[in-house]
Each structure stands twice: as structure tokens, then as C-alpha cells.
Amino acid sequence: MLQSFKMAIKSIMGNKMRSFLTMLGIIIGVASVIILVSIVNGYMSSVVDSFASMGVNQISVNVVNLPSRSLDVDDTYAFFEEHRELYERMTPVVNVTAVVKEGNDSLDATNVGGYSEDYLGIKDYELEAGRNLQYSDILSRQKVCVAGYYVANELFGGPEKALDQTVKISGNAYKIVGVVERQSEDELKEGGTDDFLWIPYSTAVKMTRNGAIGNYIFTSRSVEETEACKRELESFLNEIYQNDDLYHVNANSELLDTLNEQIAMMSGMLGGIAGISLLVAGVGVMNIMLVSVTERTREIGIRKALGAKRGAIMQQFVIEAAVTSSIGGIIGILLGSGATVMIGNAMGIDTPPTFGAILISFSVSVGIGLIFGYMPASRAAGLNPIDALRSE
């Protein structure tokens, strides 16, 4: 085995240009697989991270309240408290359609909603100034609000200046008690992620004249418990409504699972497309090895005449093909890994070479050497010693 390996290296070094051209297909194929799979995974990981920032452990509940069957907010809180080992936070959600005014200035696109004191934690935001909504605000239906950075900056010139100021929501005066830190890294704009006002959900219900709340947000204590949380909610709602058409429970983690499945499918598909070049490279390896057998027919005849067995001859040429493919695979890995990092930096995303792509592409390159090297090796081993010695 060692002697066959040494002879393979000697043969490769003796025909450097031909060996390099043989490896070229392997190099391009391996590098292509690594580059495509790693960049796709890196890009999609950034998408997943962005999605995760929306709250992977969030569970949204939407119900249709009827005169005979409705979900009472007190019953929902009782369920929440009873299952605190599963749920971390909960808030009713009351959407308000309103125009926000301060003096002669008005904001038409501001997102106004009624929430509990838990909503700040559910969104994983921090306060820039002031305080959050409190349970006492909700209990006494206080006309207070927490403003987004855009609202504070647009109407009052900054977070600190906005504290204790008053804005009108549908003609009712609300005192700003807190301002959320800036979320958007881009320019502040109307209707953006920083253009919102939060008011106590109890006040929002009164404002909208809607006695029953139809939307809630729960968060699980861990992503792994999300499915159990969803089942508990569905069981609770089924007892009330007795009809699963009247309620919907959606977990963000399910959307993330679907996204991950699509990423895996896309990576595999692109890797397969790039892998076709490895197959083509294998045909090139076989052709060159057949040429090598033809050129070395006399050498093979001498070895067989001196007693070399069929297995030894086959081993020599199979190892030579495998070594050629392996060296091409290693060069392809180095080239692909370097190119992946450079392309990722140019795109502004983190694209580390994927270990799975490296392992698979290298294994395939070695396998190609073994498989496509078998036919030339078999031909070499099957030569008649007398005919081989007559060869010029």
C-alpha cells in the first residue's frame, strides 16, 4: 500500500501539468459546492436571525367572540397564572385606528395599540426615557402612553423632551410616561418601526367601544416548550368555544421550522447542482487514467513478468486516481473556503465555510477517484504480460 502511494505521488509529480488539468475539474467542483452551500446558509441564517428577533417564542391567539361564547380577559389571565410554569408573559392586544395630534402637528400612520405592562418585555425593547405601562394604569384605565422614538422626536424633538407631554389620540389627551429606545438603524420615518404609541389595553377597549378582546400574545419560557404551550391554549379555548373555527393559535416557532426546512432544501439543491461538476470531473479522471495505462503498458508488463499480481497492479492505479482526486479536493476546499469568506465580507453577511459541505464534497472527490479509477486499473491489471512487453 505504501509503495503504491509513493508510486502514485511520483507519477503525479512526473506529469505536473497533466495532473493539474485532471485535478482542475475536482477543484472547481469542490470549491463550487462549498461556496454555494456556505453562502446560501450564511444568507439564510441572517434571515432567520432577523425573524428570530421578532420573537420565536411568541404565540398569537385570535378568537371570534359571539354573544353566547366569548373569551373574557379575566379568564385568560386566570389561565395564564395557572400555567406560569409554561408561559413567561402575556398581553391582550387591542388595535386602535386613530390620528395622533399635538398642537397643529398630526401623525396619520402611527400604530396605536392597547397592551399590558408585559408588552415591552415581549417585544424585547428597552426604554430610552421614563417608565413602562404599569398594572395600576390598566386597573384604573389611565390615559397614559408609551411612545416610540419617532413620535417623541417628531412631535417634541427628543425622548427627554417628550416625557410628561400630552398627545391627543382620537381627541382624547394622553400623557407620555415613557419613550422606547430607537429600533431602526435607518432614517426615522413615518409608519416605521419607531412610529407607535402604546396605551393600557383597558383604556383601548373603552376607546374602541368593544367589550370583548379578540387578540392575545403569549410567550413561552423556552422555544422547546412552545408546542406544549400551544396545546394548552387550544385545549383551553376548545372548552369555551367547542368549535375550532372560532379560534386560531399560531406559534412563530412553526414558521421558523418551515423556514429552516426550506433552507435545508435549497442548500441541498444548490449543492447537488454544483456536484454535477464533480461527476464531470470524475469522467476526466477516468480518461486521464486510461491514457496513463496506455502510456505505461510496458511498465505494467515488466511488473507482471517479475511476479506482480493482478491485485497489486489494480491497487497502484486505483490509489493513483484516488490521490489525484484527494489533492484536487484539498485544493478545492482551501480555494472554496477562502472565496466564501471573501464573498461573505463583500455581501456584508457572515458566511463561514459549512463543515457539512466540506466533508461531503471531499468525500465525493475521493469516492470519484476510487470509482472512476477502477476501470483503468482493471484494464491495466488485465493486460497480458507478453503483449504488454511487446508494447512500444
In a domain, 251, yes or no: no
In a domain, 273, yes or no: yes
d(CA 376, CA 123): 65
d(CA 7, CA 165): 86
Among the candidates 213, 246, 280, a domain finishes at: 213
How do 196-200 and 111-115 pair as beta strands? Answer: parallel
Let me know whether 195 and 284 are in one domain: no
In a domain, 30, yes or no: yes
Let me know whether 118 and 188 are in one domain: yes
d(CA 176, CA 102): 12
Let me know whether 198 and 308 are in one domain: no
H-type helices in 296-354, by residue range? 297-305, 310-347
Let me know whether 86 and 27 are in one domain: no
* DSSP code for 192: S
- Identify the domain containing residue 148 by its residue range: 72-213
H-type helices in the chain, by residue range? 2-14, 16-52, 73-82, 119-123, 135-139, 149-156, 159-162, 201-208, 226-241, 252-295, 297-305, 310-347, 355-381, 385-390
In a domain, 220, yes or no: no
- The residue with cell 463561514 is 352
d(CA 284, CA 132): 69
Nearest to 208 by CA among 247, 169, 151, 168: 169
Let me know whether 272 and 356 are in one domain: yes
Taking only the tens place, the pLDDT of each residue in 29-84 is 888 888 887 887 777 777 666 665 566 788 999 999 888 888 999 999 999 999 99
Let me know whether 266 and 386 are in one domain: yes
In a domain, 89, yes or no: yes
pLDDT of residue 97: 86
Among the candidates 159, 187, 213, a domain finishes at: 213
Its sign, for the CA torsion 346, 349, 350, 356, is negative
In a domain, 65, yes or no: no
Let me know whether 81 and 39 are in one domain: no
* Inter-residue contact 279 to 367 (CB < 8 Å): no
Let me know whether 352 and 384 are in one domain: yes
d(CA 90, CA 80): 7
Let me know whether 84 and 13 are in one domain: no
Its sign, for the CA torsion 336, 341, 343, 349, is positive
pLDDT of residue 371: 75
In a domain, 263, yes or no: yes
Angle of helix 310-347 versus helix 2-14 axis, rounded to 10: 60
pLDDT of residue 340: 87
Within the chain, what is the greatest distance between any pair of CA atoms?
107
Let me know whether 94 and 205 are in one domain: yes
**Number of domains present in the structure of the chain:** 2
In a domain, 282, yes or no: yes
The stretches in the chain having pLDDT less than 70 are 1-8, 11-12, 14, 47-55, 256-257, 259-260, 271, 274-275, 289-308, 310-313, 317, 373-392
Query: Residue 130, by phi and psi: left (phi above 0), alpha (psi -120 to 50) or beta?
Result: left
Let me know whether 264 and 175 are in one domain: no
C-alpha cell at 53: 428577533
Among the candidates 154, 180, 213, a domain finishes at: 213
pLDDT of residue 315: 72
pLDDT of residue 195: 93
pLDDT of residue 384: 60
* Inter-residue contact 313 to 2 (CB < 8 Å): no
Let me know whether 42 and 93 are in one domain: no
d(CA 60, CA 89): 12
